Structure 1
Amino acid sequence: MPWATRRICYYHLQQKIISNFRGKQLMYLVKGAAYAHMYDDYNHYMASLTNVNPALAAYLNEADPALWSRVYCPGDRYNIKTSNIAESIDSMLKKAKGYPITYLIEFITKKLGRWYWKRRKDAFSLATTFGRGVEFLLAVREHYADMMKVKRIDGWRFYVRGGQRDCLVDLEAKSCSCGVFDVEKMPCSHAIKAVKSSGWHMSTVVEAYYRKDYVYASYAATIMPNVEHHPIGPDIRCIPPIPKQKPGRQKKSRWLTWLELSRKNGSKPRKSHKQYACSKCRQPGHTRPHCVSNNPT
């Protein structure tokens, strides 16, 4: 894929910052810079981070903002900021990692075959123009677009008032001064208001990659099971290789970080410390040797 470029997963960058710089309380600034759609917003968050922790700001600049920030990305990153797809594949293979390679290949083939068939069927049954996630996001943005006011400048450009800032929308260039339309390749609330006021269809301004036919084409390939047999001879029988057992307990999963554990537990409160009480007066806050009843004076 010659058009593919290297990027840094924001989730792993976040873990690196927390472990090396102890910057858990500054992650809102790092996240604001990574998720910013405009250069002014990025510079604002980075300036605040430089004043608070210059070493962390220097580390992020040395890591190259083009690899981890959305606004400086030279390619089309859309709304993808993590490597969760690769993590999902790795989690799926956890059950078959301890088996011989022949079973591992068979396991991957069957699993991908089921995935492709299910997603191909879901894409074919879509009654909307775009995928479910895109349709939901457009519906939410359209709700906020109804609260805005629009003024037409010419045949392509509109001035939309409302939201966090007033923006200039150019439907010909598919851009908005808020930056969301330019980066995500789907209209923001300002662009949706301009599209509705002009009487255009939404499919004319949304990138073609979000259409359901593109989703179907992504899973159009058929993954065949391994049913071919190649006999080598009547007296020769192929058997799987004997794997070498490594010493110690076999490890299939890694240690989870605090961030993964907190997301796994969800909103479950942390365990509170036990409140000890004096065994003599039954009052909390002290023990028997320090009880005030021992010294009545």
Structure 2
Amino acid sequence: MDLSKFFLSDEWGSYLSHAGQKFESIADFRDKLRKFAVQSGFHYVLSRNDSIYVNAVCVNRDVDHCGWEVLGPVASINQCFYITQFNNVHTCRAFGDTVLQAFDLIFPGNPHLYCYHHLRYNLSRKYKNKGGEIVVADVLQKFFKVAYASTEKSFYFHLKNLRDEGGAAIIDEFIREIPLEHWCRAFFKGCRYGIMANGIAESFNNWIVAERSLPPFAMLDQTRMKEMKMMSERSVESKSWTTKLTPKMEKRLKEQLDRSRVFRVIASHENVYEVRNDKYSYSVDLSTRTCSCVKWQINCFPCAHALVAIQSARLDVYDFIDPYFTAEYYRMCYSFPIAPLSNVDASCSSTEDFILPPVTKRPAGRPKSKRIASAGEKKLILCGRCNKMGHHNKKSCTEPLNILL
């Protein structure tokens, strides 16, 4: 009988997971940090390490400006260690090559996608003590246009603006660290379905924000029941749909069809068309499901140019839409219900069988229910005084104003 190999170190990779994580002591954190690094395959250095605070960064921080970092203090009230900031994304070449090799081994033939939000955070770190928040905000806005560029020409246009705003030396060094095909829409070798970030874990944590405050067993049980209810409700709801696509995608299809009305179609040869309006022209190939705007390939959903070409050929538009957007596939996702649990046969001889929580003194203040956002995730607001985007408002604005007398 073949048994899969199991190592005690297999679980070390889960020892560090998120900001707000609690450890019994600072020594417990140091021990788990060491094992986490061993299992994850990287080295770190301690930029601060004393009896009340630990700050660990990737060993390649100074060489490759890697953004991996974890830090936190010891709470004086219970002597437990808490992670206050955790960026678990390596941008150094040594670690990046190892991760990509592992990804290619586990998922052969599938392109690897970097998270836009983590890259955005790593870029903002390169301007630490090098510019104000207004400069960083402008750089990140231009980086958004670079990452979301649909064509190679558009990419280089926005890249030039980014280099002018953020400094060619910093931007060029940052771009060299991350292959274009892993983060820019124009070069990604696969279908992204319009997704640029992998924040599903954060969305799930926000969904169970109330359950997370419960003791472990109650948290798991309440989360199970919440998921079971969601699976059931979505399964029942989807059975009432009468459309080919899900309601959300049917709405998108209608919007794209409305946009396609302004275009004219000229046939070139079999399945190839030129789609024009008063300003631009696009090449659409129905046999390869491609459009020169590249949005059909990126989203796996026909763009307005493709839809007008499909209608001109008197073909069914639904035949050119990825099956994952259909109501049938949605129903398949929720066709595996979570089975209910029964404890009617469970017995308990005495109250001594219960494990009670430890006696601890509750810290002052209201418990936090939301995760701590990283520096790169802060939302920009429009200042009513200087009319610039940033992290300040009219009351705290210190920008000089040009007043015409």
TM-score, normalised by the number of residues in structure 1: 0.78
Alpha-carbon offset, residue 192 of structure 1: 0.5
Which residue number corresponds to residue 145 of structure 2? 32
1:211 aligns with 2:326: yes
Contact 1:100 1:243 (8 Å CA) reproduced: no
**Paired amino acid for 1:48:** N
Match status 1:131 vs 2:246: yes
Could you say what secondary structure the match of 2:266 adopts? strand
Residue 89 (structure 1) aligned with residue 166 (structure 2): no
Instruction: Measure the CA separation in 1 of the matches of 2:382 and 2:210.
Output: 25
Residue number in structure 1 paired with 2:158: 45
1:244 and 1:198 map into 2 onto residues whose CA distance is 73
Give the number of the structure whose residues are more often helix, by fraction: 1
Give the % identical residues: 19
- Pick the structure with greater CA Rg: 1
1:166 deviation in Å? 0.8
Tell me the residue number matched to 1:67: 182
Q: Tell me the distance in 2 between the aligned counterparts of 1:239 and 1:5.
A: 49
| Aligned with residue 306 of structure 2, among 163, 179, 191 | 191
Name the counterpart of 1:98. Answer: 213
User: For 1:110-125, what aligned pairs fall within 5 Å after superposition?
Assistant: 110-125=225-240
Match of 1:13 among 119, 139, 143: 119
Structure 1, unaligned runs of 5 or more: 275-297
Aligned length: 273
The reply on whether 1:141 has 2:259 as its aligned counterpart is no
Residue 152 of structure 1: which of 267, 281, 289 is its match?
267
Q: Deviations over 1:25-57 (max 9, x none)?
A: 123321122112222211222233234322034
CA contact (8 A) 1:93 1:108 kept: yes
**Contact 2:121 2:377 survives alignment (8 Å):** no
Match of 2:370 among 250, 253, 272: 253
Q: CA RMSD in A?
A: 3.2
Which structure has more relative contact order (CA 8 Å, sep 6+)? It is 1
| Separation (CA, whole Å) in 1 of partners of 2:185 and 2:107 | 21
| Structure with more of its chain in strand, by fraction | 2
Q: 2:382·2:393 contact (CA, 8 Å) conserved in 1?
A: no
Match of 1:58 among 173, 183, 208: 173
Q: Which whole-Å CA distance do the structure 1 matches of 2:145 and 2:357 have between them?
A: 52
Q: Which moved more, 1:8-17 or 1:198-207?
A: 8-17
The structural deviation recorded for 1:151 is 0.6
TM value normalised by structure 2:
0.59
CA spacing shift, 1:257–1:101, aligned 2, 3 Å: closer
Displacement of 1:133 in angstroms is 2.0
Deviation of 1:91 after TM superposition, in Å, equals 0.9
